[in-house]
Amino acid sequence: MPEDRPPCPPFDRDAALLKVQAAEDAWNTRDPERVALAYTPDSVWRNRDVFLEGREEIVAFLTRKWERERDYALRKSLWAYDGDRIAVRFQYEWRDAEGRWWRAYGNELWEFDEHGLMRRREASINDMPIAEADRRIRGPRRAHERGIDIPLR
């Protein structure tokens, strides 16, 4: 029997906010193995134009992602929730191998099992080049920044 990853559905606002912050915290570790533990063993993903199934594919995908996206730092915001589903919007910044900075804007749709593991993730993401001087996401969110919404642009 799988171990619970609270909070578990059905989600209320407080539980959904906790789930979103936990996801942000995990992704900011850039540890593919740790991140993958939040998903069911047979989790299905759509990330941009890539389709994945299962934790092994998730780990491989995230390993490649964070090798390419250097100095990755992420912010997520709760958009909506209902029952076993949560919608988020997010932004992250990263530097490519040539030293250029990028900001990615996106939305994710999440669906959870009864144990609080994500069984489905659909992400739509767009990248925009930015000047280093325009960066605003520098590492994991500090405690006093939690709950502060991310600006649209």
Chain centroid to Cα 144, Å, comes to: 20
**Residue 1's pLDDT is what?**
64
Pair 41, 55: CB distance under 8 Å:
yes
Residues 6+ apart with CB under 8 A from 42: 53, 54, 119
Q: What is the pLDDT of residues 58-97, one digit of tens each?
A: 999 999 999 999 999 999 999 999 999 999 999 999 999 9
Q: What is the pLDDT of residues 4-53, one digit of tens each?
A: 999 999 999 999 999 999 999 999 999 999 999 999 999 999 999 999 99
Q: pTM for this one?
A: 0.94
Q: What is the pLDDT of residues 102-148, one digit of tens each?
A: 999 999 999 999 999 999 999 999 999 999 999 999 999 999 999 88
Q: Return the closest-CA partner of residue 103 out of 76, 139, 137.
A: 137
- How many angstroms separate the Cα of 8 from the Cα of each of 3, 37, 119, 120? 11, 15, 12, 15
Q: How crowded is residue 15: how many other Cβ atoms within 10 Å of its Cβ?
A: 17
